[in-house]
Amino acid sequence: MIKVAVVGLGKMGLSHHAMINAHPEVEMVGICDSSSYVLGVLKKYTGVATYNDFDAMLEKVDLDAVVIATPSSSHARMVRAALDRGLHVFCEKPFTLSAQDAEELAALSREKDLVTQVGYHNRFVGAFCEVKRLLDAGAIGTVTHVLGEAYGPVVLKPKGGTWRSQRTEGGGCLYDYAAHAIDLVNWYLGEPLGVGGTVLGRVFSGETDDEVFSTLYFPEGKTAQISVNWSDESYRKMTTRITLWGTAGRIYADRQECQVYLRDTAQRPEGYGEGWNVRYTTDLTEPVWFYLRGEEYSAQIDSFVQRVKERRTDGVNSFQSAALTDKVISMIVTDAEKGASTLAEGVTAESTRATRPKRRRFWRR
């Protein structure tokens, strides 16, 4: 049995808590949150040990690993404290809000030989794993371009009172939604050389972004585009998808399915034929011990647990790989400040920056 505590009991923390608590190889030894409300309810009704203060909990409780699901701006500090105590760490995404913090923490975890993982659950989605497998097998030849998209209905009106509405706290569409699309693109194409044409647009939010559009440049002329919008009510829930063009075919994937078109020039993997091929989630998904909201959430927790048991420091979504995603995010933030790179006559770059006038006061009731 490995001993685990969960810090931060928002939507993600609560669901991690439930899945970990149901895991046969884990003992849930404590939960920690700064707000006493949810903590009080869980203590009263489930008897779990609760803590208000993270450092006090680390001091008191005998732990093997900690799951950090607090607002993103606190990740770096908490991850460091946990690593310093020799704990294995699972941290929610985005990993940190600074590429430098992310690099340092990845280095620290390597130095201490600790198991680390960040919650980019899409890398545990059967269809996205199939894409990786097909790319590694060279199925669509040389990849030339990737489109990473995510859309959903989060901010649909001009208000919002949580940390998620502040970019400085790690809120906003870039950290919340686009991070997933960027992380998948990095998984498939590796580390980009640069970023251009970025728009961090506002639809309704006063203090952060609701849209993210950006071009990523990779070695050998490969490119990727990120197109993300969390103010799109036409989606029932968050939808992440990826399209990849190659010299020998095209792949489209979302959580449910992987559609592959292979040309006659393609090196066809076993089970794949020329023309269209479709693999559904029912074929691609491995069973899990406990299902809460998608197999991928269970699978990522189980992967972490197994790695901790075996002290296997390499694996999917290590700090190292999440640090790359943080790095790309920070390049995107820098690039967005620049506005358009080629301007119409008499236009300043300043005027092309996608910041809409703040309308919060006007709208506030």
Q: Is 108 in the site for other proteins (CB under 8 A)?
A: no
Here's the x/- map for other proteins, 45-74, by CB under 8 A: it reads as xxxx--------------------------
CB 208 within 8 A of CB 167: yes
Say how far apart CA 10 and CA 7 lie, in whole Å. Answer: 9
Least Cβ distance, residue 90 to other proteins (angstroms): 16
223 sits near other proteins (criterion: CB under 8 A)? no
- State the nearest-atom distance from the C-beta of 221 to other proteins, in Å: 31
Among 64, 92, 130, 257, binds other proteins (CB under 8 A): 257
Question: Is residue 261 a contact point for other proteins (CB under 8 A)?
Answer: no
Q: How far is the CB of 21 from other proteins (least distance, A)?
A: 6
Alpha helices in the chain (DSSP H): 11-21, 36-46, 54-60, 75-84, 99-112, 126-136, 173, 179-189, 281-284, 295-310, 319-336, 360-363
Is 160 a residue that touches other proteins (CB under 8 A)? yes
173 or 322: whose CB is closer to other proteins?
Answer: 173
Which of these, 293, 289, 314, lies nearest to 302 by C-alpha position?
Answer: 289
Position 254 contacts other proteins (CB under 8 A): yes
Of 88, 123, 164, 307, the one binding other proteins by CB under 8 A: 164
Torsions phi, psi for 102 (to 5 deg)? -60, -45
Choices 209-217, 251-259, 260-268, 334-342 (CB under 8 A): range interacting with other proteins: 251-259
Considering the complex, state which of residue 67 and residue 83 has its C-beta at the smaller distance from other proteins.
67
Could you tell me the two tokens for 345? Answer: 């006559």
Q: Which amino acid, one-letter code, is at 314?
A: D
Cβ–Cβ < 8 Å for 141, 247: yes
Minimum gap (Å) between residue 123 Cβ and other proteins: 19
Phi (first) and psi of residue 209, to 5 degrees: -95, 150
* Choice from 15, 198, 214, 318 touching other proteins (CB under 8 A): 15
- 276: CB partners within 8 A, 6+ apart: 259, 260, 261
The residues, ordered by sequence, that sit 6+ positions from 168 with a Cβ below 8 Å of its Cβ are: 73, 97
Cβ proximity to other proteins, 283 vs 350, nearer residue: 283
Question: Quick check: 342 binds other proteins (CB under 8 A)?
Answer: no
| Residue nearer to other proteins on the CB measure, 69 or 105 | 69
Beta carbon of residue 13, minimum distance to other proteins (angstroms, whole number) = 10
For residue 255, the number of C-alpha atoms closer than 13 Å in the C-beta half-sphere is: 15
Among 138, 141, 153, 315, binds other proteins (CB under 8 A): 153
Q: Phi and psi for 120 in degrees, rounded to 5?
A: -80, 80
- Per CB under 8 A, 288 contacts other proteins: yes
Rounded to a whole number of angstroms, the minimum distance from the CB of residue 301 to other proteins is 11
* Nearest alpha-carbon partner for 103 in 330, 319, 329: 319
Residue 361 binds to other proteins (criterion: CB under 8 A): no
Q: How far is CA 323 from CA 94, 122, 124, 180, 364, in A?
A: 9, 16, 18, 13, 38
Of the residues 52, 100, 142, 162, which one makes contact with other proteins according to CB under 8 A: 162
Q: What distance in Å separates the CA atoms of residue 150 and residue 142, rounded to the nearest whole number?
A: 24
- How many whole angstroms separate alpha carbon 274 and alpha carbon 265? 9
Q: Is 291 in the site for other proteins (CB under 8 A)?
A: yes
The residue ranges that bind other proteins (CB under 8 A) are 9-11, 14-15, 17-19, 21-22, 35, 37-38, 40-42, 44-48, 153-155, 160-162, 164, 176, 236-237, 239, 241, 254, 256-257, 280-283, 285, 287-293, 295
